[in-house]
Amino acid sequence: MAEIKRKTKRNKDMYEGTVVLDYDLGLFGDIMNRVILKSYPHKVKDFVESFLSNQITCKAWLVEHLKEVLEHKEEHQLCEKVTIIGSWYGNILVPMLISNFPGIKTIEMIDMDQDALDISRKFLQFYPDMYNTKVELKWTCDDVNFRNWATYNTHIMINTSCEHMYHMKQVRCANDPQVLYVLQSNNLYDIREHVSCVKDAVELSTQADITRIYYMGAIELAAAGGIDFYNRFMVLGKRDKADWFDTEGRRMVWSETLQKYEIK
């Protein structure tokens, strides 16, 4: 078990937090040798890049502030179900969540890359046993941009790659006012796959229609090559109880009696 203490260079939000990450480096080598090199050789570079220092820094920054919010906001201390959209391999964030939040019962990873999910399943399947916990891990292959979330329930919705997707305001769950959204994006506009970059955390909160903000901040990170720098932004918050329309154009209205949205 290791504690990550990281202070990013030229940091706007001087992150010096401590996050527990219980990691088996032998498992990394084993998965690389038995799984990726043999069955997914086209994923070698992608998998290695998922362990880069910026990936670890941003996930640790997320977990540190999520811990603070959950500890000080009584209205959303419940974190039994966590959903990660655009989960990729989940190889950094999922072990961090398991290590730092013993109350979690289910973590669902949703991504449109089936190969990444298959590798993730092989990489993470033993982690609940390692922690002697009954956390249930789920893997779902889906395009979150076109999924109908109107009947979906979760407690915490995490998206650390908002720049790759349409605006997060389209993701609205059946229990939406109760969902704590944890979102990250960046200002790397020149990358072709980045369709929703933002200039600051305020724009990120607007893209996601987050109206009750519990944390908003930015860190400055070294880009590839270590010469240029870019900003990664993060928002933690919730939405108010407002009507909205699902992907089929149906009006969704909040029911205080049922504590969920209904079709009207």
Q: pLDDT-derived band of residue 7, with 50, 70 and 90 as boundaries?
A: very low
Lowest pLDDT segment from 15-24, 98-107, 170-179: 15-24
- pLDDT score of 157: 97
Q: What is the DSSP string of 63-113?
A: HHHHHHHHHH-GGG---SEEEEET-TT-TTHHHHHHHH-TT--EEEEEES-
What integer is the mean pLDDT of 131-144? Answer: 89
Alpha carbon 94 to its chain centroid, in Å, reads 9
- pLDDT score of 16: 52
Cα distance between residue 55 and residue 246, in whole Å? 33
pLDDT tens digit sequence for 234-245: 999 999 888 878
pLDDT tens digit sequence for 216-233: 999 999 887 666 899 999
CATH number, domain with residue 54: 3.40.50.150
| Cα dihedral 51, 54, 58, 64 in deg (nearest 10) | 80
Does 111 score more than 70 pLDDT? yes
Domain count along the chain: 1
Residue that wins the pLDDT comparison between 170 and 1: 170
pLDDT tens digit sequence for 58-90: 999 999 999 999 987 666 557 899 999 999 999
How big, in percent rounded to 5, are the helix, strand and coil portions of the chain? 35, 25, 40
Identify the domain containing residue 50 by its residue range. 2-263
Q: pLDDT-derived band of residue 11, with 50, 70 and 90 as boundaries?
A: very low
Taking alpha carbons only, the member of 170, 263, 253 closest to residue 208 is 170
Does 14 score more than 80 pLDDT? no
3-state secondary structure at position 129 = helix
What integer is the mean pLDDT of 27-42? Answer: 87
Cα distance between residue 201 and residue 134, in whole Å? 35
Does 256 score more than 50 pLDDT? yes
Q: What is the mean pLDDT of the chain?
A: 86
Whether the predicted model's global pTM rises above the 0.85 cut: yes
